[in-house]
Amino acid sequence: MTRRHFAILLGFVIVAASLAWLLEGRFKWVTPTGTPGDAGPDISGKAPATTTSPIIYYRDPDGRPAYSSTPKTTSAGRDYLPVRAGEDISFEDRPLPSAAKTGGERRVRFYRHPMGLPDTSPVPKKDAMGMDYIPVYEDEAENGATITISPGKLQKTGVRSEPVERRTLNVPVRATGRIEFDPRRISVVSLRFEGFIESVGKFAEGDYVRKGQTLIRVYGPNLSSAAAEYVAVLNMRRGGAIDAQRLEGAKRRLVNLGLDESAIAVIGRARSVPRVIAWPAPQDGHVLERAAINGMRAAPGDILFRIVDHSVVWVLADIAERDIALMAPGQKVDVRPRAYSDRSFKGQVALIYPHLNMETRTARVRIELPNLDGLLRGDMYAEVEIAAGGNEKVLTAPESAVIDTGKRQVAIVDKGEGRFEPREVKIGRRGEGFVEIKSGVNENERVVTAANFLIDAESNLKAALRALDQGEAGK
């Protein structure tokens, strides 16, 4: 071989070695299947795993959130990468998957799904969204009553709690009512004898009259006869002694015909029988009805005027049968007429009627309402809100603290240090954002008011898994 041929061969060997060296440096990450290889930079801060460390699971080679407990290949034919003990990267402190328990360390029994799905794993695992499975420890309460949650998870889920306190619980009962006049404040003007209306005062329906104002001037034969007898008895007194019993009888006859004391006094001072008698208004109020006409003949009992006092009105409201036990006379009521929706009138419950409406299964409640400015009118509709409930303080909790499943009610008690205990409670009245607690929790205990359904779901899952474990152990 000539020197020229030897130089060419040596140059070819050098070029081949250089090319192999470059390829090895560029594709250093490629490792054979089943060998630890170089899994990239270690960002967990842990010591590198040795080749003798056990493989705990396999991860997707492309970094997708896909994992497997057995060797597996992707759709492109690439092998899943093994992850050995000590290589698992986590941003939260959690015990190693080792089942050993040394000193005071806690032993992990299994890992459960972070969203409460019925899926468990004996090794650390992530779900389809990349969330870590939650460890379940062996030293947790055997009865499953207490749930322990790390501070980090508490902050993420937004768990809040409030103390159970005693307070006066006002339960608003709402209904629709109708305004009516108080019949005790309505007066009727009529005659007790047959008479004739000489004249009628200038009053019409809706006008306001005061007590003592003359409504009509009336003439009646019987009234004139009784007045003449009374005057005759008085005139006899001038000539000598008068029989007091006779005088009282004559005066009583005028009273029985409807004359008041002021009209009888006028006759007594004049000592003469007037042709017509002025008939006064019996009370203050508005003229609700006028039937008297000048010159008309009025029979005994005919209604000539109807006068109503509007200073106090009634509101009749129909209350549902389930709310009857909350009602009591004297309770405060807020009334908002539909004609004045921006105004509120204060009243109180005066009476709960002793019978129910068979068709609607409601009870009628009578509310007395002052109407000094006269804005409330008969037959108006109004929205009624009754402050039901007693004045005694009862044990209450926020309504959001009670999980009502229909068959039972549960409250989550915050025992501190991330420990929570679900308890079944009995509730009573509701109102103003609170609910009465009859049993289940004590005063000053704190109950969860936000994210409590997550804790309840965790408790139910824990109980189900425990039942499953016990069932398998009994086989």
Taking only the tens place, the pLDDT of each residue in 291-330 is 999 999 999 999 999 999 999 999 999 999 988 888 889 8
**Residue 463 CB neighbours (<10 A):** 14
Q: Is the dihedral of CA 419, 466, 122, 474 positive or negative?
A: positive
pLDDT digits (tens, 9 = 90+) for 403-434: 887 778 888 888 887 788 888 899 887 877 88
Contact between 441 and 447 (Cβ < 8 Å): yes
DSSP structure class, residue 88: -
Cα distances (Å, whole numbers) of residue 370 to 237, 251, 267, 284: 51, 39, 40, 16
Contact between 326 and 171 (Cβ < 8 Å): yes
pLDDT exceeds cutoff 90 at 44: no
pLDDT at 89: 45
Contact between 109 and 139 (Cβ < 8 Å): no
Partners of 217 in the beta sheet?
199, 278
pLDDT exceeds cutoff 70 at 11: no
User: What's the pLDDT band for 13 if we cut at 50, 70, 90?
Assistant: low
Structure tokens at 410: 């549960």
pLDDT exceeds cutoff 90 at 185: yes
Contact between 455 and 149 (Cβ < 8 Å): yes
pLDDT exceeds cutoff 70 at 455: no
Provide φ and ψ at 234, rounded to 5°: -65, -40
Pairing of strands 332-337, 381-388: antiparallel
pTM of the model: 0.53
The residue whose two tokens read 């508005």 is 286
151 Cβ partners below 8 Å, 6+ apart?
418
pLDDT exceeds cutoff 60 at 37: no
Structure tokens at 393: 């303080």
Burial class of residue 396, CB neighbours in 10 A (0-12, 13-18, 19+)? buried
The residue whose two tokens read 């009334």 is 335
Contact between 281 and 308 (Cβ < 8 Å): no
> How far, in whole angstroms, is CA 44 from its chain's centroid?
50
Cα distances (Å, whole numbers) of residue 206 to 42, 184, 200: 95, 19, 16
Mean pLDDT of 248-273: 90
pLDDT at 313: 95
CA nearest neighbour of 135 among 113, 119, 117? 113
**Residue 431 CB neighbours (<10 A):** 19
CA nearest neighbour of 283 among 228, 212, 218, 338? 212
User: What's the pLDDT band for 26 if we cut at 50, 70, 90?
Assistant: very low
Q: Where are the beta strands (DSSP E) in 399-454?
A: 402-404, 409-416, 419-431, 434-439, 446-450
pLDDT at 323: 87
Number of H helices, E strands in the chain: 6, 29
CA-CA distance, 446 to 164, in Å (whole number)? 6
Greatest Cα pair distance in the chain: 188
CA nearest neighbour of 81 among 68, 100, 92, 91? 68
pLDDT exceeds cutoff 90 at 213: yes
The residue whose two tokens read 């010591």 is 47
> How far, in whole angstroms, is CA 260 from its chain's centroid?
58
CA-CA distance, 241 to 192, in Å (whole number)? 33
CA-CA distance, 363 to 204, in Å (whole number)? 38
* Helices 244-256 and 221-239, packing angle to 10 deg: 160
Rg (CA), the chain: 48
199 Cβ partners below 8 Å, 6+ apart?
216, 217, 294
* CA dihedral of 105, 106, 107, 113, whole degrees rounded to 10: -140
